[in-house]
Amino acid sequence: MRIPLALTALLVPGSALAQSFEVTSSDGVAVEATPVAEFNEPWAMTFLPDGDLLVTEKPGTLLLVTQEGTKTEISGVPDVAYAGQGGLGDVIAAPDFADTGHVYISYAERGDDGLQGAAVARATLSLGEGEPALENLEVIWRQEPKVSGNGHYSHRLVFSPDGAHLFVTSGDRQKLDPAQDMDSALGKIIRLNPDGSVPDDNPFQDQGELARSFWSVGHRNMLGIAFDGDGRLWAHEMGPRGGDEINLIEPGKNYGWPVVSYGVHYSGDEIPDHPTRDEFQGPEAHWTPVISPAGMIVYSGDLFPDWQGTAFIGGLSGQALVHVSLGEQSDGTMAEEVRRFEMGARIREVEQGPDGGIWVLEDRAGGRLLRIVPAGEG
């Protein structure tokens, strides 16, 4: 039996949450958004096989949520370093969740001397009688080195389509140069076996023990990562002042940060554009002004059949849901913005529901979980 967080949490905004509203895109496409629940600084969500959701709140709470909005707190979450951009981060279910009950969470972890770093843990989600709980939690990866500051953890998670490998985005922690340092895991995409061990076929086998875990290098702050239906891996990352990117991720490639970027430093100092350095992989699309991308899906549902195989990205500063075409474009790139839906709030996370609806989380205290469907079908 699920024990609600509090009766007020379920009922106080209930009638207000039930009010659907229409959002029309920049090119006149209308969708309908229905508020489902509210959260305290929600960061990530994932659907379980039975249709319920897991939702993380950055201060350190993990919640089991029904599609009707009933929330139950899950115990056993580790302590998190909640400050700045740090706290409880991503959550995903293992591909074999139905058999193992395994879930993976990421979070900012305190170290010695005021240093922090991202961590990824695997646990068994117990959903039997009584309170739901994370059991047998084991940290399987830690961001090395831990450093000062509370920004650019990234720590987004995705499994390969065959379920064989876990990918982790490891941000540059606002330190810039480590993104090009093979003795630092900052500014990298990490590829692991499900137990946290390092696959023997990762591309940087001969560049040191730590580099064996790297899949790609030269990244800044990657808050969205997803596979498409053809097995291609996509990740977006925030640029500095300008130059947000979406990249087609290939093993062994260097994406150039901080040597090249389509943005400039916050100081105003110029950064060479990608085409000036052939050794770096350029983005498939980039944004100036920025959208501050967060969360991403490649859509595969039936509610929006014309959108299958396209990406949806949340915009934090952009306060929008950004729709991106994937595949070869007329300009020779592999991605292009199609439209955006102005949401009037920072969008932190995007997921596809079991029914093909698009679910998003707003980034704020009291941030809403919204279910988006075609206009008139809410």
* Tokens 């809403």 found at: 368
Determine the number of helices (DSSP H) and then strands (DSSP E) in the chain.
Answer: 3, 25
Max CA-CA distance within the chain?
60
Across the chain, mean pLDDT equals 95
**What is the residue-wise DSSP string for 260-284?**
--SSB-TTS-----GGG-TTSPPPS
For 118, list phi and psi in degrees, rounded to 5: -75, 155
Let me know if 152 is a catalytic residue: yes
Neighbouring residues of 365: CB distance < 8 A, sequence distance ≥ 6: 40, 41
Q: In what order do the strands lie in the sheet with 320-326?
A: 293-298, 311-315, 320-326, 335-342
* Number of C-beta neighbours around residue 34 at 10 A: 17
What does the alpha-carbon distance between residue 176 and residue 252 come to, in Å, rounded to a whole number?
Answer: 19
CA distance 217 to 196: 19
Each domain of the chain, given as residue ranges in start order, spans 17-40+291-378
pLDDT single digits (tens) 284-333: 999 999 999 999 999 999 999 999 999 999 999 999 999 999 999 999 99
Taken in order 200, 111, 158, 222, the sign of the CA dihedral is: negative
Tell me which of 102, 152, 155, 236 is the catalytic residue: 152
Q: For 39-54, what is the mean pLDDT?
A: 99
- What is the predicted pLDDT for the residue at 1? 33
Q: Which pair of tokens denotes residue 117? A: 């770093």
- Give bridge partners of residue 139 from the DSSP assignment: 121
* pTM of the predicted model as reported, rounded to 2 decimal places: 0.95
**Residue 232 predicted with pLDDT over 80:** yes
Using one digit for the tens of pLDDT, what is the confidence trace for 183-193? 999 999 999 99
For 84, how many CA atoms within 13 A lie in the half-sphere containing its CB?
A: 16
d(Cα 72, Cα 95) in Å, to the nearest integer?
Answer: 23
Q: What is the pLDDT of residue 129?
A: 81
